[in-house]
A and B are shown apart, each in its own frame.
Chain A
Amino acid sequence: MAIRARVARLLVWSLALLPLVFFLTGLRSTDFTSLAAILNLLGRLSGVLGLAFLLLSAALSARVPGFDLPFGGLTRLWNTHHLLGASALLMLLAHPILLAFAAQGHGAGLAFETLFPPLSERSLWAGWLALLLMMVFLAPSFSFFGSPDYERWKRTHDLAPFAVILGLTHTVLLSRTMPVNLDLLVWGFFALLAVGAVLWRFVFSRRIGRLPYSVVQIDRPANNVVELTMEPKRRALHYRAGNFVYLTALDPELEAGFGEEHPYTLSSSPREPHLRVAIKALGNASRAIQSLAIGSKVTVEGPYGRFFKNPDEVPGPELWISGGIGITPFLARMRHLVQLDQGGDIRFVYCVQDEARALYLDELQNLADAIPGFCLIPHFFYRQGPLSAEFLREHCGDIEKREVYICGPMPLNRLAQSHLRSLGVSRANIHSEEFELL
């Protein structure tokens, strides 16, 4: 899986660098005759790379179910998307500055004229507008002005397609990035990928991808956690234990989050007739959904993610580490193993503050008893302090032989990973699901 993910990432980056090859074939000796010429060359180069990164980043945002699997799940795919976006922004910030400096080499005042041409220069102003939009929609992604909430981040990110269109307009009007005709061919191909992704995201996925469900049961495992049981209204979602979905609540009575999609992990076994998600009140929308009524309509899009290597069986020894609402993929897998009557050597370190905050503890204990070879190990912070390497070693003598799965808050995730590394667990055996905003 790790190798496949590396190949998938390598393919994306190779594709992103493809325009560079064409750009280089168009270079001439006069591009190196002076400092101004070199700055101009770098300015054009940063523009070409920036646009390629931006368009591919857009293409990766489509979120077509199944497309994330070669990358090792949607969160890993988001990582590549995020890196491409960051690289695009860096390149496109350098682009106008380098070209302005280059122009100054031909006479005083030309840097300013290059940056701020007459309004009739539509191509340049399209480029400016694209760059300004990028700054706006990427500011929350890179926490320019503090950590954003999910809704603000998502709303501003919806500006991305406009930046893509303006960036393409800028490039096509200038039509000078590569040797003749290659320009249209290369950018046409990248534009098709990006526009295809945007169309899928905003048009087709809303019609085809989102499956209608209705809420038939609501359980409250804690006062800030709700578990929704949902019945399909059309066809049922096919998924594997540990997958997550984007859920859109369509109850107009909701205080927040009406019609907004949010990612939640499925807590049910794929063998169950109904779909279940456990939702903790962490933001406005997830807080509002706590008061959702039975009978409410929702849509579900997915499945995404590839948390467990083998969700349906336990071929080798495993160690699970979880905390907080990170329990959901493990709950789903335990329910699934019971449904399948499967057993296996699994140690589950469940980290919670105290007994009162141990979500699903009774059900987990019952499930653990029903799965042969399963060992549930609660870890209470108030009594035992932060999770330690010694604790892990004590309960897992053969820890380096185990596939390890981690899902929980970032601090626990980081702590667990550093302990595992120090205990000699290879990186390839550590799998973690991260839900925090990148």
Chain B
Amino acid sequence: MKKFIFAVFVAFWASIGTIAVMEAITPPGPDSESTFPATTFTMDDVAEHDHLNDCWMVIEDKVYDFTAYIGQHPTPASVLAPWCGRDATEGMRTKGIGREHSPAAWALLDNYRLGSLEANP
């Protein structure tokens, strides 16, 4: 058993090392912003989509339609409902106690992006 545990211990550090090296040598990707629609919305536009069957949110000045995602979110839909039609940046930044959503969760956002919030006049 000792040998097996030691092998897993080595495999662990080998995996961590591999992930770190991959990160260090991968060149930064092209700016992805240009691939998204340039459409802009106002807060009033977003506020019209304020229930679970039609749920838009604003996160860091980007507008998202999460209607299709609600069923996949790890917490019950009732947790998301109050954020529909509103700026949900705070919800994204403060999941649980003193903790943000994971990098993977932030990456998921792009799939649901409609455009950006209209800059304040």
Interface residues of A (CB under 8 A from B): 30, 33, 40, 86, 89-90, 93-94, 97, 100, 102-103, 105-117, 120-123, 135, 142-144, 172-176, 180
Q: B33 on the interface (CB 8 Å rule)?
A: no
Q: Within the assembled complex, what's the spacing in Å between the Cα atoms of A103 and B97?
A: 21
Q: Which residue of B lies closest to A124 (CB)?
A: B99
A192 CB to nearest B CB, Å: 20
Picked from A93, A94, A122, A176, the residue with its CB within 8 Å of the CB of B74 is: A176
A108 touches B100 (CB 8 A): no
Q: B102 on the interface (CB 8 Å rule)?
A: yes
Q: Which residue of B lies closest to A111 (CB)?
A: B19
Q: Within the assembled complex, what's the spacing in Å between the Cα atoms of A418 and B15?
A: 41
A90 touches B102 (CB 8 A): no
Q: B20 on the interface (CB 8 Å rule)?
A: yes
Of the A-B pairs whose beta carbons lie under 8 Å apart in the complex, a sample of 15, sorted by A's number, is: A93-B8, A93-B9, A97-B15, A97-B16, A105-B104, A106-B104, A111-B23, A112-B19, A112-B22, A112-B23, A117-B103, A122-B99, A123-B96, A144-B6, A144-B9
Interface residues of B (CB under 8 A from A): 1-2, 5-6, 8-9, 11-12, 15-16, 19-20, 22-23, 26, 29, 71-72, 74-76, 96-100, 102-104, 107-108
Secondary structure call for the A interface: helix
Picked from A30, A90, A108, A123, the residue with its CB within 8 Å of the CB of B99 is: A123
Q: Within the assembled complex, what's the spacing in Å between the Cα atoms of A112 and B21?
A: 10
A420 CB to nearest B CB, Å: 24
Kindly list chain A residues whose C-beta atoms are within 8 Å of the C-beta of B104. Answer: 40, 102-103, 105-107, 110, 114
Q: Which residue of A lies closest to B100 (CB)?
A: A121
A173 touches B9 (CB 8 A): no
Kindly list chain A residues whose C-beta atoms are within 8 Å of the C-beta of B100. Answer: 120-121
B16 touches A106 (CB 8 A): no
B93 CB to nearest A CB, Å: 10
B6 touches A110 (CB 8 A): no
Q: Within the assembled complex, what's the spacing in Å between the Cα atoms of A107 and B9?
A: 27
A312 CB to nearest B CB, Å: 37
Q: Which residue of A lies closest to B6 (CB)?
A: A144
Q: Within the assembled complex, what's the spacing in Å between the Cα atoms of A338 and B104?
A: 73
B107 touches A173 (CB 8 A): no
In the A-B complex, the 4 residue pairs with the smallest Cβ-Cβ separation, listed nearest first, are A113-B103, A112-B23, A103-B104, A107-B107
Q: Within the assembled complex, what's the spacing in Å between the Cα atoms of A174 and B6?
A: 29
B19 touches A173 (CB 8 A): no
B66 CB to nearest A CB, Å: 14
Q: A121-B99, A135-B9, A173-B96 are in contact. List 9 more A-B contacts (CB 8 A).
A: A30-B72, A89-B9, A97-B15, A106-B107, A109-B23, A143-B2, A144-B9, A173-B99, A176-B74
B99 touches A97 (CB 8 A): no
Kindly list chain B residues whose C-beta atoms are within 8 Å of the C-beta of A176. Answer: 74-75, 96
B36 CB to nearest A CB, Å: 14
User: Quick one: given A97-B16, A109-B23, A115-B19, are A89 and B97 in contact (CB under 8 Å)?
Assistant: no
Kindly list chain A residues whose C-beta atoms are within 8 Å of the C-beta of B20. Answer: 112, 116
Kindly list chain B residues whose C-beta atoms are within 8 Å of the C-beta of A89. Answer: 5, 8-9
B23 touches A106 (CB 8 A): no
Kindly list chain B residues whose C-beta atoms are within 8 Å of the C-beta of A111. Answer: 19, 22-23
Q: Which residue of B lies closest to A139 (CB)?
A: B9
A106 touches B26 (CB 8 A): no
Q: Within the assembled complex, what's the spacing in Å between the Cα atoms of A144 and B9?
A: 9
